[in-house]
């Protein structure tokens, strides 16, 4: 199961790193189209949040320090993808809404699975009650 969680984490990291990078540094031909849909400050905020989430969903687990941050990053991605789904549905962009809904499901899986792993580790390392 751990391998499956890591694969999903890597897929999410690649997807959000690429999308965040696109929002931060869009090609010249897309700038006007992107700025028509979202204010520039909001596009930059989303881009930075997605790049940081890509780092946050992988780096703590790789270096095994503050691994609870993976759950927080996945929860943040859940908020971003749920909001993006509503945005795309409001604009009648069904394929984009479906994509963000799938990303939401993957982020939810990672958040739940990593939270369960953390609970199991805590239960295994908890001191036994006195007799």
CA–CA distance, 123 with 105 (Å, rounded to integer)? 27
pLDDT > 90? residue 26 = yes
**Polymer length of the chain:** 131
Q: How far apart (Å, rounded) are the C-alpha atoms in residues 8 and 110?
A: 7
What is the pLDDT averaged over residues 72-97?
96
**pLDDT given for residue 1 in this prediction:** 83
Q: Round to whole Å and give the CA distance between 114 and 70.
A: 7
**Domain range summary for the chain, segments of one domain joined by +:** 2-124
Where would I find the H helices in 1-131? 2-24, 28-37, 40-56, 59-63, 68-90, 94-125
Mean pLDDT confidence for 32-61: 94
Which tens digit of pLDDT belongs to each residue from 91-108? 999 999 999 999 999 999
């Amino acid at each position: 199961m751990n391998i499956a969680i890591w694969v999903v984490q890597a897929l999410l990291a690649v997807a959000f790193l690429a999308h965040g990078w696109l929002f931060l540094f869009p090609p010249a031909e897309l700038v006007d189209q992107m700025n028509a849909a979202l204010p520039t400050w909001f596009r930059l905020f989303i881009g930075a949040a997605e790049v940081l989430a890509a780092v946050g969903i992988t780096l703590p687990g790789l270096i095994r320090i503050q691994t609870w941050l993976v759950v927080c990053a996945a929860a943040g991605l859940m908020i971003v993808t749920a909001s993006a789904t509503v945005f795309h549905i409001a604009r009648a962009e069904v394929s984009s809404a479906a994509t963000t809904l799938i990303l939401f499901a993957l982020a939810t899986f990672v958040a739940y699975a990593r939270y369960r792993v953390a609970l199991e580790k805590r239960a295994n390392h908890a001191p036994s009650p006195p007799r």
